[in-house]
Amino acid sequence: MKAEFENIDLVKNEDKKRFEIELNGHFAFIDYKETSQQIALIHTEAEPELAGTGAAAAVVEKTLIYIEESGKKLLPFCPYVFAFIKKNKDWKRIVDERFESYDRL
């Protein structure tokens, strides 16, 4: 994660069902669905003003940390999150082993 994102708090916006970070009034976020044991990440997006800044990767990393600390298992349906975990294999530890594409990570 780029240094400029380290001190930005992750917000779990339960009204919008998304994890988000804000930088200079612009958002990067991940839509989610949650059960008592799992969090499914559905879609990652950064506003155009944040393109190329690393904001999308930062919100993913912060969200993965949140999920790990919550003790829940991850279902990475979002292609961006899936690719992030495939590239950063240590995060596979929080993916639910029953996830349909677990073996492709």
Per the DSSP assignment, residues forming a β-bridge with 41 are 32, 76
Yes or no: say if 36 and 22 are a contact pair by the CB < 8 Å rule.
Answer: no
- Those residues whose C-beta lies under 8 Å from the C-beta of residue 75, and which sit 6 or more positions away, are 38, 39, 40, 41, 95, 96, 99
The span from the first CA to the last CA of the chain, in angstroms, equals: 20
The 10 Å Cβ neighbour count of residue 60 is 25
**pTM of the predicted model, to two decimals?**
0.95
Average pLDDT per run of 10 along the chain, which is 105 residues long? 90 98 96 97 97 96 98 98 97 97 96
Under DSSP, is residue 21 helix (H, G, I), strand (E, B) or coil? strand
Looking at residue 14, its amino acid is E
Per-residue model confidence (pLDDT) at position 4: 85
Counting every residue written for the chain, the total comes to 105
In this prediction, residue 2 carries a pLDDT of: 83
- The two structure tokens encoding residue 58: 């930062």
